[in-house]
Amino acid sequence: MTTYADLPAPLRKLVTGFEALLEQNAAEPVVVAQGGALLRTLLATDDWLPDAAAQPDPQYYRQYLLYRDPQARFSVVSFVWGPGQATPIHDHTVWGLIGLLRGAEISQDFRRTADGALEKAGPPQRLETGAVTAVSPAIGDIHQVANAHDDRVSIGIHIYGADIGAVDRSVFTLEGAVKPFRSGYAN
């Protein structure tokens, strides 16, 4: 589901809002603030996400493309966590908004030390249904995320400042080793 005509009405409203916001050439803090408000509005109802974009995998988390801007200025994905699933430590290289539609997730931020290793940057954050947070190279872009529940699925709706499935990104070890990757999409 990546064409405008196929979008459920609440998602179409979010996309229209992001298109208008990005047409203004707004600075990243404005995009994050106003875009976060748009995402909170979308998360206020939970009857629009198609079942096909909410299916967990028994072993790995899944990222489903919901919409990709024709100019690749932004993409909207559903991020589906099976019970207890987690990402490796990773970056995004672009701004992103992360909102919880169902369940909860725990995010641990990291920063580089002088010797290139990684260390935790503050305590873990628990995001509950309806919560929105942001990532970007400007405000902190390296983190590890996990489903907060060991017994049920959690689903996030993420908006990124690019076609995130095609962006060159990295995963990291605590020692600072870097491995490039592209996430792609489950659909």
Query: Could you tell me which residues come within 8 angstroms of residue 50 by beta carbon, excluding any fewer than 6 positions away?
Result: 1, 8
pLDDT tens, residue by residue, 3-14: 677 899 999 999
Tokens for 65, please give them.
């493309």
Tell me which DSSP letter residue 16 carries.
Answer: H
Question: What's the rounded mean pLDDT across residues 12-21?
Answer: 95
Burial 61-76 (b: 16+ CB within 10 A, else e): bbbbbbbbbeeebbbb
Domains in the chain (CATH in brackets) are 4-181 (2.60.120.10)
pLDDT in tens, 72-127: 999 999 999 999 999 999 999 999 999 999 999 999 999 999 999 999 999 999 99
Q: Would you state the pLDDT for residue 140?
A: 86
Q: Is 62 helix (H, G, I), strand (E, B) or coil?
A: strand
The predicted structure's pLDDT at residue 23: 93
Nearest by Cα to 100 from 45, 39, 156: 156
Q: What's the pLDDT tens digit per position in 114-139?
A: 999 999 999 999 999 999 999 999 98
User: Rounded mean pLDDT of 161-173?
Assistant: 95
